[in-house]
Amino acid sequence: MTTKRLDVQVGESLPERIHRASNVSLFLYNAAVWNSHRIHYDETYTTEVEKHPGVVIDGPLQGDWLTQTVLEWLGDDGRMVEFQYSNRLAAYLGEVLTAGGIVSSIEGNVATIDVFIRNEAGQVITPGSAVVHFSS
């Protein structure tokens, strides 16, 4: 069996995954990270006071989804040593978001993966990148 390191090509797409946040998943996530910001569960407050069109899907939750894109693809063939993302556009409860990625460079046993969260309009709302080291 060959390792991913020998198979992987620049330009290779990682499997995409669709994420549908719900009231319940946002509640559990914010409870787990002890975040009581009302924009993640109080629709009236969120729209009337903070002027968002709806309950906000947490930026760091999207960051977590991006790590999953990389780690599920990588499996036991290496480890992720660096990861970054930035929240460019907000996403709101009810939106269907897609997480994906593409291999952007390979040098020796190190690869860089560009990752993204895309909304239904096709906009990349949370771009990021990860550096992985393949096991030798």
Partner 1 sequence: MPDLITDEIRNWIGRSTEPVQVEISRRDIIKYALATEQRLEKYLRGDEAPPMFLFGADRPLTQIADLGPDGLMRDPLLPELPLKRVMAGGIKQRYFRAVVPGDVLSISRRISNIYEKQGSSGPLIFVDYELNVRAADGELVMQETQSRINR
Binding-site ranges for partner 1 (CB under 8 A): 19, 25, 28-29, 31-39, 42, 45, 49-50, 58-61, 63-65, 67-68, 71-72, 79-87, 90, 128
For the chain, the farthest-separated pair of C-alpha atoms sits apart, in whole angstroms, at 57
User: Residue 9 or 121: which CB sits closer to partner 1?
Assistant: 121
The nearer residue to partner 1, 4 or 38, going by C-beta atoms, is: 38
CA distances (Å), origin 112, targets 8, 17, 28, 60, 86: 11, 19, 31, 21, 16
Distance CA 116, CA 98 (A): 8
Query: What is the closest distance, in whole angstroms, from the C-beta atom of residue 111 to partner 1 in the complex?
Result: 15
Instruction: Report in angstroms how near the CB of residue 7 gets to partner 1 at its nearest.
Output: 20
